[in-house]
Amino acid sequence: MDVVVLTLNDRPDEEAAAQATLLAQKGVDIRVVVVGNGCKPEVVPAGALTVCLPKNIGIPGGRNAGSHALRNADDPADWLYFLDNDAAFPRPDVLARLVAEAEQHPEAAWVQPRLTGPDDTTTPRRWVPRLSASAPGRPGRVTSMTEGVVLIRRDAFDAVGGWESRMFLYHEGFDLAWRLYEAGWSGWYAASIRMHHPLTIPARHALYHRLAARNRIWIAHRNLPAPLLPLYLSVWTAITLVRAMRGGGLGETLRGMREGWTTRRTQPRRPMSWRTVYRLTAAGRPPII
C-alpha cells in the first residue's frame, strides 16, 4: 500500500505521533511519501520517500505530487491511502481491515473509515459522508469522502486524473467522488473502522470561507448537467449564506461566491451523465444538495 502524508512542518509533535501509528500497522506492506508543501519535510519515517515542493500548491496538488512520486518509484501499489499529518490509527489493523472491506466491495473506488475525535466516539456532522449524520456508526454506500483519511484504488484514482489541484483547499473530495461515480465506481463507508483526528473546525483557516464558497461553484460548473446548475447553486447559496450569517465570515463568503462565478469558465466542463445523477440519488445524495 502507498501512503501519502502532506506537511507544512507546522506540527512536528502531532506528525511524529501520527507516523508512529502508521508504522505500527500490521497485515499490509506500506510505502510512505512525505510531501513538503513549500518546505523540506522535517519529520520523516525511516525509509520513506520525500518530495520537496518549491511552494505551497495546496492540499490536492500536494497529494497528487505524493501519488506521482510513489507511482514512479517502481511497482506502484494497488491502494493509495491519504493521511492527514495529525490523524492517528487507533489500532494496528486499520489499513488491513480497510483493504478487506474494499475487496468485499469491488464496485467501490474508495473506502472511508469513520473519523472520530481522540475519544473514539465523537464524530462531527461534517465527518459523516452522507446527508443524514444521525447514525455515524451505520455503514453503506456513500457519494462523498473525508479526504484526509481515505483509501482509494490506484487504478481508479489515476484513470480520473486524481485530485483537482486548482481547488487548493476544500471540497476537492466532492469533485473526485463525482468523477469516480461518472467513471462507474461508487464509494463505501466502513463505519466500524475508526480513525482519530483532533476535533478542529475548518473555519480556523483564514482561507476557509472564500475558498469553500468559490470551490462549490467550480465543482458545479465542472460536473453538473446544465439543467441542474441553477438548482444546485440556489440550494448551496442559501445554505452557505445562512451558515455565514450565523457563524461569521459573510464578507469572505460573498467574495468567494463572486470569485467562483466570475472564474467558473476557467474550469473544464465535463457534465456527468443522467445515469450518474440517478446513481448518486440512489446512493442517498442527489447532486443538488
DSSP codes of every residue in 219-261: HHHHHS-GGGHHHHHHHHHHHHHHHHHHHS-HHHHHHHHHHHH
Block mean pLDDT (10 aa), the chain, length 289: 96 94 96 97 95 96 97 91 96 98 97 96 91 89 94 97 94 96 98 94 77 95 96 91 84 94 95 97 91
CA–CA distance, 277 with 236 (Å, rounded to integer):
17
CA–CA distance, 260 with 223 (Å, rounded to integer):
14
CA–CA distance, 180 with 57 (Å, rounded to integer):
23
User: Which helix or strand (DSSP H or E) is residue 281 part of?
Assistant: helix 274-282
Three-state secondary structure call for residue 178: helix
Determine the topology of domain 2-200 in CATH: Spore Coat Polysaccharide Biosynthesis Protein SpsA; Chain A (3.90.550)
CA–CA distance, 248 with 253 (Å, rounded to integer):
9
Please name every residue paired with 145 in a beta bridge, in sequence order, or none if there are none: none
Q: Which pTM value belongs to this model?
A: 0.94
Give me the sheet containing 2-7, strands edge to edge. Answer: 49-53, 31-37, 2-7, 79-83, 149-153, 108-116, 186-196, 140-142
Q: What is the pLDDT of residue 204?
A: 65
Instruction: Please give the DSSP secondary-structure letter assigned to residue 266.
Output: G
Q: What is the pLDDT of residue 106?
A: 97
Q: What single letter denotes the amino acid at residue 260?
A: G
User: Which helix or strand (DSSP H or E) is residue 10 part of?
Assistant: none
Give which of 48, 47, 51 is closest to 65, Cα–Cα. 51
Give which of 258, 157, 270, 170 is closest to 220, Cα–Cα. 270
Q: What is the pLDDT of residue 200?
A: 79
Q: What is the pLDDT of residue 205?
A: 67
CA–CA distance, 87 with 118 (Å, rounded to integer):
9
Where does CATH 3.90.550.10 sit in the chain?
2-200
What DSSP string runs through 19-80?
Answer: HHHHHT--SS--EEEEEEETS--S---TT-EEEEESS---HHHHHHHHHHHHHTSSS--SEE
